[in-house]
Amino acid sequence: MDAAQTVPGSLSWRLSSHPITLLTFLAFRISSVLVYFLGLWVIRSMIMIFIITILLLAADFYYLKNIAGRRLVGLRWWNEVDVGTGDSKWVFESSAPGTKTVNPTDARFFWLSLYVQPLLWILLAVLALVRLQFLWLPLVVIALVLTVMNTLAFSRCDKFSQASNLAGSAFSGTNLAGTLASNMVGRFFSR
Within 8 A by CB and 6+ apart from 103, the residues are: 8, 15, 16, 17, 18, 72
Total of domains in the chain: 1
Does the pTM exceed 0.95? no
> For 11, which DSSP code?
S
Cα distances from 57 to residues 76, 140, 150, in angstroms, run 18, 11, 11
Residue 6 placed within a domain: no
Residue 3 placed within a domain: no
How many helices, marked H, and strands, marked E, lie in the chain? Answer: 6, 2
Q: What is the pLDDT of residue 120?
A: 93
Q: Which domain holds residue 129?
A: 16-184
Q: What is the pLDDT of residue 184?
A: 45
Q: What is the pLDDT of residue 13?
A: 62
Q: What is the pLDDT of residue 172?
A: 47
Q: Residue 79: enclosing H or E segment and its boundaries?
A: strand 75-81
Residue 24, helix vs strand vs coil: helix
Residue 92 placed within a domain: yes
Residue 71 placed within a domain: yes
Residue 191 placed within a domain: no
pLDDT along the chain (191 residues), means of 10: 53 72 91 87 83 94 91 85 86 74 82 92 91 88 93 85 51 46 43 41
**Residues forming a β-bridge with 94:** 75
Q: Is-contact 63 25, C-beta < 8 A?
A: yes
- Nearest to 22, CA basis, from 113, 115, 119: 113
- Interior angle at CA 139, CA 134 and CA 142, nearest 5: 125
Residue 9 placed within a domain: no
Residue 162 placed within a domain: yes
Residue 4 placed within a domain: no
